[in-house]
Chains A and B, each alone.
Chain A
């Protein structure tokens, strides 16, 4: 039960951070927007390693949908985060330390080690951003745009995300 409350508070906290603060930060200069701060996938990243895969996917869908509500783009964030949640398990298995995880470990730096955790977060966040910007453009004509936005947003988001992880989940 306390788990449920704990993760519930995390859900709400991350959601609030993303939509109320980060959404309104306008880091763009000129007429075109390349820099977006997107850190809500960290909710999916730091769920316990033993969460059932179906639950992961479902939680990803719900989180994405909630963010969508505030970004006025029904389904876009949800599609991206569902994919990320789906890919979390194989990638976690890939960076798993040799001795395995303890039963109730969360998938963060204390269980994985800083380097493994960094790789895991980088890969998943990049995939998420790529998927998000692809769906947002929805056409291969904008391929160059999509890549540019992914890279720019990735650079700033990964910095903030690692910082957040450092501060909150010591």
Chain B
């Protein structure tokens, strides 16, 4: 207590000075226009700098969430486009959009937990499973092209075949020219596929786009697969062997969309019955 009194008596005038100076500055900044503006601008520069840094930190912590919601949104948009492209072309987009029974394909965003790229048969493991409605024998695509197909699913994970796999066979056609064939992977280059069963008189040109035909239940039509980089007639046959260079790079794959075909069972049953 005595120390406090002593402190006050020796330095009291300093405290008074500081207090009065602060009062003066408050008066200056409040009641003088120029000083007010300069003060407001300077403090906002500092405050904005700090606020933007704090904001970027908090944004970083929400990245996972934002990413998930963006992927869901992307899936929805892509789904609309795919469904519209298989829709009856006479009607307009608004009419299509308002009728929910027009949804033929559903897209489910999946992320890839594990994959192999350089083996002779490449597979991957998806982080989504039956609980996210991913089933076996669903096609997997990205915006850039076809990626593969799911093979077996458990509650939370799925095994999938990549295109770069001996067992994969995709029905495709040459865009614009409508010649259809089958795409397999010859096993040499992880980015190059082979398309067969296209008649040898087909006027294929280098650079043609190869898209899915929609004939299988796995993929909707018109999903891009790759570009023609080379073609030649198979010796002694009536077909061409077309080298297709994939647009999607399997090595950098992180996420994909699984396609659910709503009317799959109906189509499969019908095809099975007519084959008898």
Contacts and interface: CB of A to CB of B under 8 A. Distances in A.
B24 A138 contact: no
A78 interface: yes
Contacts of B28: 73-76, 79, 135, 138
Interface in A40-72: 52-54, 56-58, 61, 64
A86 B159 CA distance: 81
Contacts of A53: 13
Interface in A73-93: 73-76, 78-79, 82-83, 85-86, 89
Nearest to B14: A86
A135 B87 CA distance: 73
Given A54-B12, A54-B13, A75-B26, A138 B35 contact: yes
Contact of A78 (B24, B29, B30, B38): B24
Contact of A138 (B16, B20, B39): B39
Nearest to B26: A75
Interface residues of B, number: 21
Residue among A53, A75, A82, A85 with max Cβ neighbours from chain B (10 Å) = A75
A57 B32 contact: no
Given A61-B20, A139-B38, A75 B31 contact: yes
A138 B31 CA distance: 14
Interface in B85-115: none
A75 B16 CA distance: 16
Nearest to B15: A54
A116 B108 CA distance: 90
A61 B24 contact: yes
B215 interface: no
A57 to B, nearest CB: 5
Contacts of A75: 23-29, 31-32
A82 B39 CA distance: 21
Given A54-B12, A54-B13, A138-B39, A82 B21 contact: yes
B217 to A, nearest CB: 72
A83 B32 contact: no
A85 B21 CA distance: 11
Contacts of A58: 16, 20
A58 B13 CA distance: 9
B38 A138 contact: yes
Contacts of A76: 24, 28, 32, 35
Given A57-B17, A138-B34, A79 B12 contact: no
B33 to A, nearest CB: 10
A10 to B, nearest CB: 21
A56 B12 CA distance: 12
A79 B26 CA distance: 10
Interface in A121-142: 135, 138-139
A98 to B, nearest CB: 25
A74 B34 CA distance: 12
Interface of B: 12-14, 16-17, 20-21, 23-32, 34-35, 38-39
25 contacts: A54-B12, A54-B16, A57-B20, A58-B16, A64-B24, A73-B28, A73-B32, A74-B30, A74-B32, A75-B23, A75-B31, A76-B24, A76-B35, A78-B20, A79-B21, A79-B24, A79-B25, A82-B20, A82-B21, A82-B24, A86-B13, A86-B17, A135-B35, A138-B38, A138-B39
Given A73-B28, A74-B31, 11 more contacts: A53-B13, A61-B24, A73-B32, A75-B23, A76-B32, A79-B24, A82-B24, A86-B13, A89-B13, A138-B28, A138-B35
List 5 A-B pairs, minimum CB-CB distance, nearest first. Answer: A75-B27, A53-B13, A79-B24, A75-B28, A74-B31
